[in-house]
C-alpha cells in the first residue's frame, strides 16, 4: 500500500485547500478583454476568447439578410457601450456580465418560455425541455437572446445550456474596489479577485458551463425593442416564408390511420365544408416510443404515392410524423451507423447532424423517398429533452460522443435545429416551400419554416408561448387536441386560428373532432348525438373560415417577417414598447400589423384588456371605437376571437376557400379603419416555390382615401393573379 | 462594417460545422489511460488526468482511519479489475465509465436520496438540493458513492454536480469496434471515435461537467456491500462519535423564543417527566430569511451565559440555530468581507470556507463566543440549494467567484460540508463532542457529528432517507413538527426515536407539542383539552423512554461506526446482502446490530414485513419467533415501533433517565435472544470528550450461557462507571 492519496488529508483547518495546485495550471478564473466589432448596421459583436466550434451561429441555416437592414430605421445606440459587457473564461466555464439599468428597465425573450413574460429578477436555465419547469425558461425553444425596454437586444452565441441571472443578484460590495479589466487573463487568484468590478443586480449574468474557450456576444441596437428584434431576425437570415397553403388548417390523423381512414377523413372534411389544406399522419414504419424506420407501413399504406396524389387532387397536402432516432430496420441505419452518437435512443441511432455527411445523407433520403413523392411537410418529434426531474429520461446524455466532435450537451441544444435544417434542405432542393412542425429549436431559427408544438396543454401557457415566441424568431403552434367542454374546445380552436400554424391534432382520437371533442369518449367510440355533431362542425367551420378570411393578410405579414424581420404574430410591446401599462400584458397580441387579438382563455366568454396607448382601436365585431390606454371588458360566444383594428389601417379580408392551390384567387374585401389609413401591401406570388426570391412576385398596394375611395397598385414580375379586390368597407370613424 | 462574423455563415449543408476549428486546440474529447494504485487494504485509487484542486478528498475532515481496516474481514475483489474503469477528459468535462453487470446486480447509495432506493436504471443529478426532485437523487446530501450487491463500492471524488446514468443507456454498437484505450489522449476526433469501446447498459456513467482536468475514482472492495460501506466510511475517517447526551431528545423551541419561554419549557419538560437532553433555539440576532449576525438578541436573551448555565444545571444542553450568510451588522462581517463570494445571499456574505483563513475566523468566533459560553451544538441552516425549478432561488450562482479560487458550483456542493467542519473545529479546540444539525453535506462526511434535516415532510421519504443515509456515511434526523392526527404524530415520534438524532422541532409552534400537535391550531393558541394533553404527553413519554432505554445500546453501535465504519442505523442489506427478497425493502432497517425496526407509516397501525433470511427473529413485544424469509403482518398501537431481535444476540436495555450527565449510571437489563447469543460489547467513557481516543475508555463485554447465566467483563483505562447490570432476561427460544 502506498500513502499517496493520504498525504493531503489532515484534519486541521488548513486542509480545506490543497497547499498547491497539483496541476500547475493557471488560476481558476480570469477576466478577459473583449474585442468589439460592428458586423452589420446596428449589430455589434463582442468577442471573448475564442468561440467554441459548435454554436448556433456556426451551424446556422442562413447568412444574415443584409438587404433587410436597409429597410429599418437608423439604429439607436443601446444605453451602454458594447465594451462595458464583461467576460471571464476559466477552465470550467465562460461567464458574461451585461449591464442592465435596475429601476427603469424590463426584459423579455429567452425563447418559447411558457412560464414567464417579464424576465427581470428571474433565474433562467435555458435547456431544451419537453416540460414546463416553473419560470426557468426551459422550453422547446430556449434562446439566449433578450430585448430590453431600453431598446436593445443581447444575444449570446452558445450551444451550452446557459444559466442566466436576470438582474437579480446582489453583489458583495467588497468586490467593487477596482474595475480594471484591461490587463487580460489574471495569473493569480488574488489578482483576479482584486480586479473584480461591481456587478449583480445591475447586470444580466450568463454562465456557460463547460465552455472553457470563449464566446461571441451580439448587441442589437433599437431604437426600440421592435427594431432590436428585427435586427436579430435579419441577423438570423430573415423570417421563414410559408407556402400560402401552409397557413391553412392542418388536420392531424390518428396514429394508426390507414389509407382508407385518411381518404375517408379527407372526404368528410370536404363534405362538411370545413376548410382544410393539410393532413398529418404517421407513415407507420415506427411507433411512438420506438425508433423510426422512415418507410411506409405496407399494411396500412399499400400505395403511398397514389394516395398522396389522390389527396393532392382534392387539395390536401401531406405532412408525415417522424423523429430522428434511426431504427436498425431503416435504410438510413447502415449509412448513419458510424455517423451517430455513442448511445441509442429507443434503440435508434442519434444522428450526428453536425457531421455534414450525416446531414446530407438524412436530407437526401427525405428528398428522394418523400419530397419527390409529393410529401410537403414533416412533423419532427422527440428531438427535445425530458425535464431534469425525470429519473429515466430517454435523452442521450450530455457526455455523449459524436464523430463530428460536438459535445452531447451542445448536440442536445442543437438537435432539433439541425434536424429541421436537414429536412428543409430536402425541400429547398426541389424549390418547394414547406410549413412543418418540430419539437425543439435553438437560436437563429427565424428562417426555418417549422412550428414548435408541445405535449403540455395549459391554455395560458399556450398563449404566453405564442407571444414570447415573437421576441426570439420562433413559430409556435398551439395545437388543439381534446377539450373538457365545447366552450373550451372552441376557445382553443380560436387561439390556434390566430397562430402561425393552425392545427387540430387528433393523434389519439379515432373520430373527427366534431363527432366528439372529449378525448376518452372519442377513443371509446362514444360520439355526440348527430344533431350536436352538426352544431360543433358548424362552429368549427366558422372559426376556420375566419382563419381563411385572413390568409392573404397573414401571408403578407410573413413576407414582412422575411424581408424586415418583423414577426407576424407578436407581443404588443413590439408595436407599443413605450406603454408601461402593458409591460406585463401577456394575454393579447398583434396579429399582423393592424389587428390586436385578445383570446378568451379556458371556457371564458368575457375578459378584460388594456388597449395600447398610441392608437385608437375599433372592435371588429361591433365597430365600436376605444381610446388607446383604456381598459375594456369584452364579451362574446365561445370560439370568438375578440379583435381590434388599429386606427388608420386597412385589413383585406378574403372570401373563405376550402383549400389553397397555385391558381386560387382570393376575393378580397378591404376593411377600412379610420379616415387616413396607411396603405397596405399584399404579397403576390405562386405561393409554393422560392421563385419570389428571383423576382417572380408582386406588391399589391391598397390605398384608401375618404373622397376617392380605394385604389389598387400592382408592381412586380409575377404574371399570375392571386387577389381580386371585390369591395371596400369602412367602419365608423373614431369619435363619431 | 466588416464581414468577419459572416464568413462562416452559408446555407449549404456543409455549413453545419465550421471548416476548421478556429482555436487550433486539440480534439474535443479523448480517452485517457488511468493509473491504478492500492491506497489502503481493499481500497484502490484509479486516477484519470490531474484531479481538480477542490474535491471532497482535498477538503476532507479526517485522514482515513487506517487502524479500522485491520478490524474488517479480508477484502474480496470486485467483479472487475480497477483498470477496466474508463475515463475521458475534454475541454468541457470529465466522464467516467464503471463496469456494471447487467442482469444480476442491484445498486444502492448516491446519498440521502429521498426518492429512490434501488438505483439501477435511473438518471441521477447529484446536486445539493432543498427539495425532492423525483428520483434524481438531488438531496441535502448527494454523494457520488454507490455500492453494488456484487460486493464493492465506487466513489468518484468530485465537487462538480455529477450526472449519473446508472446502467441504463444502450450503446450504439458501431462504437464497439475497438477497445483501445492504451494510447492516451487522442489527437483527432476520428481516432477518438474509432477507439471507443462498448459501454452503456453495462456501465455506470459519471458526467462531471466543468471538470477539464481529471478525477480520482476509488474502488472499495467487499466481500459484501457491508464491508464496502465500512471501507468507504473508514476511508472517510470513521464514523462520528456522539456525546452520550447527544443521543437523547432534542426539543427545538419557537423561533421567537425568549429566555423566559425557554426556561419555562425546560421546567415543563421536567415537570411532565419527559426525558430531554437538548434544547434548540434561535439566538435572535437573525431572522429566517435574512442573513445572520451571530450575536444574541439583547431583548430576548439579556444574559445568555447565565441562562445557559441555568439550563445546564437541570440537564439541558443548548443548540443554536444559524446559517452561514454574514449580515453586515455581524462582528464577522468585517474580517470576512474580503474572504467571501462576489454575491450576497439575503444581504449576507457567502463565506469562502475554502480559504483556510476564512475557515479559521469563522471557527474561532464560534469557539470564543459560543462554545466557551457552554453552547454544545449548532443547527446550520440554509447551506443547501433550492431546486432547479425555482426561478428566484436564493442560492449564489454556480459562476460565483471566491478568493480561494474555488468555483461556485464546487462551493455550492461543499458549502454545508465546510461549514460543518468549521463549526466542529470550534468544539474540537475545547475537547468537546457535539451532536449538531446541518442542511447540506457532501461525500466523506462520516466523521462529522452533524445530522441532516429537511423542510420536506413526507413520511415514506423520511424513512427512505434514514435508510439511504447508511450507504454513504450520512446521519439523518427525521424531525417531528406538526401532525394531522394523533396517530400520525405518534408514528412520526417513533420513527424519530429510532434515528441517529431524535428531534421534536417546534420552530413555528408556540406551545409544547403535547398541548397541540396540529400546527395551525398550536399557532392560534387553540390547545387540546387538558385531559387530552396529559394523554398525549404520556404517549410521547412512552416513546421517548424507549429511546432512552436503548441509549447505551445505540452509543455502543456508534463506537462501532467510529472504529469499523459500520453505520448504527442502516439498511437491512448491509446485514443481509444476499437476500434478494429484500433488495427493494425500503421500509425497515437495522437499529444497531441486533434489532430490526419496521415503522408504521402515516396513521397505520398494521403493516407487512419480510424478515431477512439467515436468522430467526423474535418480536420484542410478543416474544414470538419468526423464521427468516417469512412475511409477517404486524399490528400495534400508534407510536409503537415494531421491533425484532435477531436470534442469538444480547440487547442491553436501560432504565430511562431524564437526561444524561457525565456521572449518569445506566441500570441495564440484558435481554437474551436465543440459546447461543454472541457477546455484546458496551462502550464506556466520559461520554463528552475525545479522551476515549487517548485510551480513557472501557469495553464492557456481556456474555450469556444458558447454564452459567450472564457475565460481565470490563477492560480498559476509564476509571468511571456508566453501566450497572441489574438483570438478565431471556426470551422464549425459537422453535419452542
| pLDDT of B104 | 83
Instruction: Taking residues B420-432, report their average pLDDT.
Output: 97
Instruction: Taking residues A127-135, report their average pLDDT.
Output: 93
For residue B151, pLDDT over 50 is answered with yes
Among the listed residues B617, B620, B612, B653, the one whose alpha carbon sits nearest the alpha carbon of residue B636: B620
Instruction: Return the higher-pLDDT residue of A605 and A394.
Output: A605
Radius of gyration of chain A from its Cα atoms, rounded to whole angstroms: 27
CA B335-B338-B342 angle, 5° bins: 135
Q: Rounded distance, CA A369 to CA A360, Å?
A: 14
Mean pLDDT (chain A) is 91
Instruction: Taking residues B540-553, report their average pLDDT.
Output: 98
pTM, rounded to two decimals: 0.93
Cβ contact B28–A53 (<8 Å): yes
Percent residues over pLDDT 90 in chain B: 86
What grid cell was written down for B165? Answer: 446514468
What grid cell was written down for A615? Answer: 392608437
For an interface test with A, the pick among B3, B5, B94 (most A C-beta atoms closer than 10 Å) comes out as: B5
For residue B21, pLDDT over 60 is answered with no
Cβ contact A406–B95 (<8 Å): no
Instruction: Taking residues B79-108, report their average pLDDT.
Output: 92
What grid cell was written down for A731? Answer: 367602419
| pLDDT of A29 | 57
Phi/psi region, residue B337 (left: phi>0; alpha: psi -120 to 50; beta: rest), is alpha
Find out whether B661 and B676 touch, Cβ atoms under 8 Å: no
Residue B22 half-sphere exposure, CB side, CA atoms within 13 Å?
A: 17
For residue A496, pLDDT over 60 is answered with yes
Instruction: Taking residues A538-558, report their average pLDDT.
Output: 98
Cβ contact A172–B344 (<8 Å): yes
Percent residues over pLDDT 90 in chain A: 86
Q: Pairing between strand B503-505 and B250-252?
A: parallel
Of B116, B344, B403, the CB nearest to A170: B344
For residue A128, pLDDT over 70 is answered with yes
| pLDDT of A190 | 39
Residue whose grid cell is 464493492: B152
Contacts of A422 in chain B (CB under 8 A): 13
Instruction: Return the higher-pLDDT residue of B397 and A731.
Output: B397
Among the listed residues B581, B488, B523, B477, the one whose alpha carbon sits nearest the alpha carbon of residue B246: B477
Q: Pairing between strand B343-344 and B325-326?
A: unpaired
Of A21, A37, A175, the CB nearest to B342: A175
Residue B381 half-sphere exposure, CB side, CA atoms within 13 Å?
A: 20
Cβ contact A124–B403 (<8 Å): no
Cβ contact A53–B18 (<8 Å): yes
Contacts of A90 in chain B (CB under 8 A): 407
Q: What share of chain A is helix, strand, coil (3-state, %, to 5)?
A: 25, 25, 50
Q: B528 — phi, psi (to 5°)?
A: -65, 155
Cβ contact B16–A135 (<8 Å): no
Q: Rounded distance, CA B319 to CA B251, Å?
A: 10
B332 band by pLDDT with thresholds 50, 70 and 90 = very high
Q: How far is A471 from chain B (nearest CA, A)?
A: 20
Contacts of B28 in chain A (CB under 8 A): 53, 405-407
| pLDDT of B148 | 96
| pLDDT of B103 | 77
Contacts of B174 in chain A (CB under 8 A): 337-338, 340
| pLDDT of A361 | 98
Of A14, A160, A354, the CB nearest to B17: A354
Cβ contact B388–A136 (<8 Å): yes
* B219 three-class SS: strand
Mean pLDDT (chain B) is 91
Contacts of B237 in chain A (CB under 8 A): 11
pLDDT in tens, B634-682: 999 999 999 999 999 999 999 999 999 999 999 999 999 999 999 999 9
- ipTM tops 0.95: no
Instruction: Taking residues A413-421, report their average pLDDT.
Output: 98
Chain A residue whose CA is closest to B208: A399
Radius of gyration of chain B from its Cα atoms, rounded to whole angstroms: 27
Q: Rounded distance, CA A438 to CA B291, Å?
A: 47
Number of CB pairs, chain A paired with chain B, less than 8 A apart: 335
Instruction: Taking residues A338-355, report their average pLDDT.
Output: 95
Cβ contact A170–B343 (<8 Å): yes
For an interface test with A, the pick among B16, B202, B221 (most A C-beta atoms closer than 10 Å) comes out as: B16
Of B10, B136, B425, the CB nearest to A391: B136
| pLDDT of B387 | 84
| pLDDT of B30 | 86
A194 band by pLDDT with thresholds 50, 70 and 90 = very low
In B403-544, where do the E strands start and end?
A: 436-438, 450-452, 503-505
| pLDDT of B288 | 47
Instruction: Taking residues B305-319, report their average pLDDT.
Output: 97
Q: Rounded distance, CA B710 to CA B670, Å?
A: 9
Is B103 buried (19+), middle (13-18) or exposed (0-12) by CB count in 10 A? Answer: exposed
For residue B185, pLDDT over 50 is answered with no
Cβ contact B171–A50 (<8 Å): no
For residue B268, pLDDT over 50 is answered with yes
Question: Between the CA of residue A736 and those of A462, A624, A651, B631, what are the distances in Å?
Answer: 38, 10, 20, 86
Q: How far is A588 from chain B (nearest CA, A)?
A: 24
Q: Rounded distance, CA B631 to CA B137, Å?
A: 30
pLDDT in tens, A244-292: 999 999 999 999 999 999 999 999 999 999 999 999 999 987 654 588 9
* A205 three-class SS: strand
pLDDT in tens, A63-122: 999 999 999 999 987 788 999 999 999 999 999 999 997 678 999 999 999 999 999 999
Instruction: Taking residues B255-279, report their average pLDDT.
Output: 96
| pLDDT of B284 | 87
Amino acid at each position: 500500500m502506498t500513502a499517496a492519496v493520504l498525504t493531503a488529508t489532515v484534519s486541521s483547518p488548513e486542509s480545506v485547500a490543497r497547499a498547491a495546485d497539483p496541476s500547475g495550471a493557471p488560476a481558476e478564473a480570469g477576466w478577459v478583454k473583449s474585442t468589439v466589432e460592428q458586423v452589420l448596421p446596428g449589430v455589434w459583436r463582442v468577442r471573448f476568447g475564442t468561440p467554441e466550434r459548435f454554436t448556433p451561429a456556426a451551424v446556422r441555416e442562413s447568412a444574415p439578410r443584409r438587404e433587410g437592414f436597409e429597410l429599418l430605421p437608423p439604429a439607436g445606440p443601446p444605453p451602454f457601450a458594447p465594451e462595458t459587457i464583461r467576460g471571464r473564461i476559466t477552465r470550467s466555464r465562460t461567464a458574461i456580465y451585461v449591464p442592465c439599468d435596475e429601476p427603469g428597465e424590463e426584459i423579455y425573450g429567452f425563447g418559447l418560455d411558457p412560464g414567464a413574460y417579464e424576465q427581470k429578477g428571474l433565474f433562467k436555465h435555458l435547456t431544451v425541455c419537453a416540460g414546463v419547469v416553473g419560470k426557468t425558461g426551459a422550453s422547446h425553444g430556449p434562446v439566449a437572446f433578450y430585448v430590453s425596454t431600453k431598446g436593445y437586444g443581447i444575444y449570446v452565441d452558445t450551444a451550452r445550456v446557459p444559466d442566466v441571472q436576470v438582474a437579480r443578484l446582489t453583489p458583495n460590495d467588497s468586490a467593487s474596489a477596482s474595475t480594471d479589466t484591461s490587463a487580460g487573463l489574471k495569473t493569480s487568484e488574488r489578482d483576479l479577485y482584486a480586479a473584480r468590478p461591481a456587478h449583480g443586480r445591475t447586470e444580466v449574468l450568463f454562465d456557460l458551463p463547460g465552455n472553457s474557450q470563449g464566446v461571441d456576444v451580439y448587441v442589437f441596437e433599437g431604437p426600440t425593442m421592435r427594431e432590436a428584434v428585427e435586427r436579430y431576425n435579419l441577423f438570423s437570415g430573415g423570417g421563414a416564408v410559408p407556402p400560402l397553403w401552409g397557413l391553412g388548417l392542418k388536420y392531424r390523423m390518428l396514429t394508426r390511420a390507414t389509407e382508407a381512414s385518411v381518404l375517408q377523413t379527407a372526404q368528410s372534411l370536404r363534405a362538411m365544408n370545413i376548410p382544410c389544406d393539410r393532413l398529418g399522419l404517421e407513415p407507420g414504419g415506427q411507433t411512438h416510443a420506438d425508433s423510426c424506420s422512415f418507410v411506409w407501413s405496407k399494411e396500412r399504406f399499400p400505395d403511398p404515392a397514389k394516395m398522396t396524389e389522390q389527396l393532392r387532387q382534392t387539395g390536401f397536402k401531406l405532412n408525415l410524423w417522424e423523429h430522428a432516432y434511426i431504427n436498425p430496420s431503416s435504410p438510413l441505419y447502415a449509412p448513419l451507423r458510424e455517423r451517430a452518437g455513442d448511445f441509442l435512443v429507443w434503440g435508434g441511432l442519434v444522428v450526428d447532424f453536425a457531421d455534414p455527411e450525416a446531414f446530407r445523407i438524412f436530407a437526401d433520403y427525405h428528398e428522394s423517398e418523400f419530397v419527390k413523392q409529393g410529401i410537403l411537410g414533416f412533423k419532427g418529434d422527440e428531438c427535445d429533452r425530458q425535464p431534469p426531474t425525470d429519473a429515466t429520461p430517454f435523452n442521450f446524455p450530455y457526455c455523449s460522443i459524436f464523430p463530428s466532435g460536438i459535445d452531447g450537451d451542445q448536440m442536445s441544444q442543437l438537435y432539433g435545429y439541425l434536424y429541421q435544417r436537414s429536412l428543409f434542405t430536402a425541400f429547398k432542393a426541389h424549390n418547394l416551400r414547406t410549413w412543418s412542425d418540430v419539437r425543439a429549436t435553438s437560436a437563429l431559427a427565424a428562417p426555418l419554416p417549422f412550428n414548435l408544438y408541445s405535449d403540455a396543454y395549459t391554455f395560458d401557457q399556450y398563449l404566453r408561448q405564442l407571444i414570447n415566441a415573437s421576441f426570439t424568431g420562433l413559430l409556435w403552434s398551439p395545437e388543439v387536441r381534446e377539450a373538457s367542454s365545447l366552450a373550451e374546445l372552441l376557445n382553443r380552436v380560436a387561439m390556434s386560428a390566430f397562430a402561425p400554424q393552425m392545427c387540430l391534432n387528433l393523434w389519439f382520437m379515432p373520430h373527427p373532432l366534431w363527432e366528439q371533442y372529449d378525448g376518452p369518449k372519442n377513443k371509446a367510440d362514444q360520439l355526440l348525438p348527430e344533431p350536436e355533431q352538426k352544431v360543433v362542425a358548424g362552429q368549427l367551420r366558422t372559426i376556420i373560415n375566419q382563419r381563411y378570411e385572413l390568409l392573404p393578410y397573414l401571408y403578407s405579414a410573413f413576407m414582412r417577417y422575411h424581408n424586415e424581420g418583423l414577426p407576424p404574430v407578436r407581443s404588443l410591446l413590439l408595436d407599443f414598447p413605450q406603454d408601461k401599462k402593458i409591460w406585463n400584458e401577456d394575454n393579447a397580441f398583434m396579429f399582423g400589423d393592424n389587428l390586436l387579438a385578445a383570446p378568451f382563455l379556458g371556457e371564458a366568454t368575457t375578459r378584460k384588456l388594456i388597449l395600447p396607448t398610441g392608437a385608437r382601436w375599433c372592435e371588429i365585431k361591433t365597430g365600436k371605437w376605444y381610446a388607446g390606454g383604456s381598459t375594456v371588458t369584452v364579451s362574446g360566444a365561445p370560439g370568438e376571437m375578440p379583435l381590434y383594428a388599429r386606427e388608420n389601417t386597412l385589413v383585406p379580408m378574403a372570401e373563405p376557400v376550402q383549400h389553397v392551390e397555385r391558381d386560387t384567387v382570393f376575393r378580397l374585401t378591404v376593411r377600412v379603419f379610420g379616415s387616413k389609413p396607411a396603405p397596405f401591401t399584399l404579397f403576390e406570388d405562386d405561393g409554393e416555390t422560392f421563385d419570389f426570391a428571383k423576382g417572380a412576385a408582386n406588391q399589391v398596394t391598397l390605398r384608401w382615401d375618404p373622397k376617392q375611395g380605394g385604389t389598387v397598385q400592382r408592381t412586380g414580375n409575377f404574371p399570375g393573379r392571386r387577389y381580386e379586390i371585390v369591395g371596400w368597407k369602412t367602419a365608423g370613424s373614431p369619435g363619431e
